[in-house]
Structures are given as C-alpha cells and as structure tokens.
Structure 1
Amino acid sequence: MTDRKKVYLYYNDTKELAPKIDDLRKLGRKYEFELVTSFADADIIASIGGDGTFLQAIRKSGFREDCLYVGINAGRLGFYTDFTLDDLERIELAMQTGIVEVHRYPTLDVSVDGIQHFQCVNECSIRSNIIKTFAIDVFIDDMHFETFRGDGMVVSTPTGSTAYNKSLRGAIVDPRIKGMQLTEIASLNSNEYRTLGSPLLMSGDRNLTLKIIQDGNDHPIIGADNEALSIRHCHEVQVKVSDKEIKTLKLKDNSFFHKVKRSFL
C-alpha cells in the first residue's frame, strides 16, 4: 500500500464504532502499521466517518503536505472516502496490492481583512448573519466586476464543486482543472444591483476580492468547508487558489467521475 507506516486515526468515539475500530487496529498491526496518538507524528492520517469527518481531519491537522490523508466511511461511500469499515477485506487488499494511488487536491487560500488567514478544501462561503440581504463589491484581479446583493456567495475548488456549490446550481468541475468557481446565493437583480446571475469559473492564477459594503449588515457568517468561523466583523475577503495541495490515497477504480455518476445519476 505505502512505505509510510505511522498512522493516526481520526474519528468520533462511539459505542457503535468501537468494535469496528478495534478490528481496523488489528488489521493495521498485522501489516506492521504503527498507530500514533498525535497528528504531528503521523505519515498517514485516516479519517473514519464521512466526508465531513475527512474535512475536519485535514483542518485539525493543519493541512499537512508531508503526509497522506485517507478517508474510511462508517456508512455510505462519499467523495473523499474510498473505503468503508464494513469492508475490511477491501482495505486489506489495498494494503497487499497496488490498487491505490496518490491524488492531489487543490486548496484555497483565504484572507479576511489581511489579518486572519485560512485554507479550504471544498469551499469558502460568505453569508448574511441576519434575515436581511447584504451587498458585496466583487473584484477580479483588482478590476471591479459587479456589485452583488443577496444572501451570500460561495467560492469552491473543483473537488468542492459537487458540495454546496452544486446545491446552488453551480457547475461540476473536473478536478484536473486548476481553478475556482464563484457562485451566488439568492442574488437580487434590479436597476441598482445587477449580477452575472450564473456561476463563474476562474483560472487558478486569478485573485478574487469580495468587499462587504458597510450598510449595517457587516457581520456575515464566513464558512470554511463545513465549519463556521468566529469572525465577528468583516470588510474584505480575498481568495486565491493555493500552491498547497493535499495528498490523499484513493482507489484506482473509483475516480471522480465514478463518484459523480454513482451519487447523482
């Protein structure tokens, strides 16, 4: 499977999971994998749960580039979880043979007011914190593109295009394309505010700036993947495709488009 042998298991400890986790630990010891108790010591970080757990494992461990991430689902297969706890034979087969390969997922670099910085694997979202629309000036490479008014906006990676972005009728993007997608959340179009009205796919070398118009609704909710960040006041959000990529172990016969077909068709 890999020459890396130090493994950290990331999961929510429950009575239902406990016996399956024990079986997984035994399987790891059989193939001389060392289970470590710290993210920092691991060569492989294995999340056990769903796609949300996988995203949390990456965030909690600091988006490490020097390790491999692998997703093991405790239920149905997701986009980031190729393996399942209910099929240990498949996991053992991966340990024995070369049916896995390393995939690299792009990430987003996000800066809020030039002070707070974070990364995203799926998307960065900015939404109104109250039952009221708010306005955003959208700049692409320092050029004013549009003034948006509505419930918010989502900037997604290609791999994140099947998540929140898709629910907003955004395009599904081949992960081999290095770029980011800007999608509106319930935009209002009038003589005063006019937006593109469709998702916008941008090249990976673009810089996107969202400037919140200060009209009394300047405390939006900013989301990083599946977490809401504790940012209370916001003037400007800058987003770009990061040079940092997340390395994951994936099954060769379970490509992105296999998952799209299985999930949506």
Structure 2
Amino acid sequence: MSELKNLPHRVWDWDKDGSHNFIGETQANLNFLQSNFRAELENTNKKVKKIGILKVVEFKSTLSYSLLDYMTGGLDMSLMVAIDFTESNGHPANPQSLHYLGSHKIIFSPNVPFICNDNGDLLDAFYSCNVITCAAVNAGYVKKNYTDIKLANEYIFTTMKERIRRILEVALRCDTDALILCAWGCGVFRNSPDMIANLFGLVLKEYFYGAFPLVTFAIASKDNTTVPSFTRALSSQHLYFANQSQKRADHNPI
C-alpha cells in the first residue's frame, strides 16, 4: 500500500547569501509521519552520521496518477511536507525568527504602463517603463523584536547590501539605460536613510561603476532629512555615470 511505502526526505538549509546546504535525509512512510511527526536525519558525508531530528509541522498527501500507473495498476503518492528543522530561519510567529529578512527574490516586469501622475490624475500621454520589484528588510520589526541589536543590525546591513547588488544586477542584465532608484525601505520598514544611501553608493561604486548611463534617485521626503543623506553618501563616493558608449565596459558581475 502507498501508506507503507518509504519515501526519501532530504533537508536543505537556506543561507543568507541565497545558497543551500545539504543537512541530511531520512526514509519514512506516511503512516509513520502521521503517528510520530519526528524522524532522525542522517548525513553520510559527516563524521557524525546522525545529524538531527526532522520535525514535521504540517503535511498534505495527494494521489497523482500517471500513464505508468494505469499500465501497471500501481499508484504514485506525492507527499508534501512542511518542516521546522534547525530553526535557522525559524517559524514566522517566533519573534526571534529571521523571516523578517524576507527573500532575495526579484520580479522584473517589462513595459509597465504609467497612466497617472503623483496626484492620481490621468496623463495626457501614457508611457511605459520596466519595473523591478523586491522587498526590503523590515528593519522596524527587527529592532522591535530581536534581542541582540548589534547582530540584528549586521543582518540588516549585509542582507540589504546583497539585495541592492542583485537588484542592480537585474537592471544591468536587462539593458537598463536610465535607472530610477529610491530611498528603498526607509518608509514603513524603517531602514536608516544614511545606511541605505551609503549602501547604494558602495554597491554602485564597487560593482557597477560606469555601468549605467543615467542613475536618478527619486526621493520624497516630508521632513527633508532623507535627501541630504543620499546627497552626502553619493557625493562622498565621487560617483560618475558613464555615457552610452562607455556603458558596461568594465563591469564584471560576481
């Protein structure tokens, strides 16, 4: 029976740089998972083979039939398992989890039509732009819930720097000529304007110097404090944006 068929379960750990490391694996059938919700993991590549415990938080089983099933009269069972293993990220409900860091995933939307101005009035002539969407770190949540503030600030800094680098890499790979950036994450997510401005300056100079013909920061600042942060940070980096013929000549993505 399908309920008695042992299935391999492999566990991978997500790193903050987006890579994945193999943790271990186990063999278990549906009946075992239903009754125990825990299974011992092993990693044969490690000196200590028994590496930890797989804790099943939730599972759902579905029956999926293929042509081979109809030919042999057999049944292929697909098992989806949600787990909480090393708590490297932790459960979203846990204030000490790292889920507030979000994901490095990026959406590139080409030819998005812009039909209104800032006041919501329809434009006489519509225009289209490519749009990059990516979530910033929720720094306000971090500082409110994380006990080790120094470590939390390090997480914010390194994560946001890498995420900015990836955003600019997407823009470059998609042949962006006029790049419009903003005070990313400095609103409800409460990232420091000084930090974000410095990160943009560092990443632009370190990885993308001369890569874009035009870079514009469109910043709305009611208290008139965000704009000076970006002015100071970018001028201190002595940033220069090359013309069309010089674009991307020296860029080597990492």
TM-score, normalised by the number of residues in structure 1: 0.21
**Which one scores higher on RCO, CA 8 angstroms, separation ≥ 6?**
1
Asked which structure has the greater CA Rg, the reply is 2
Choose between structure 1 and 2: higher strand proportion: 1
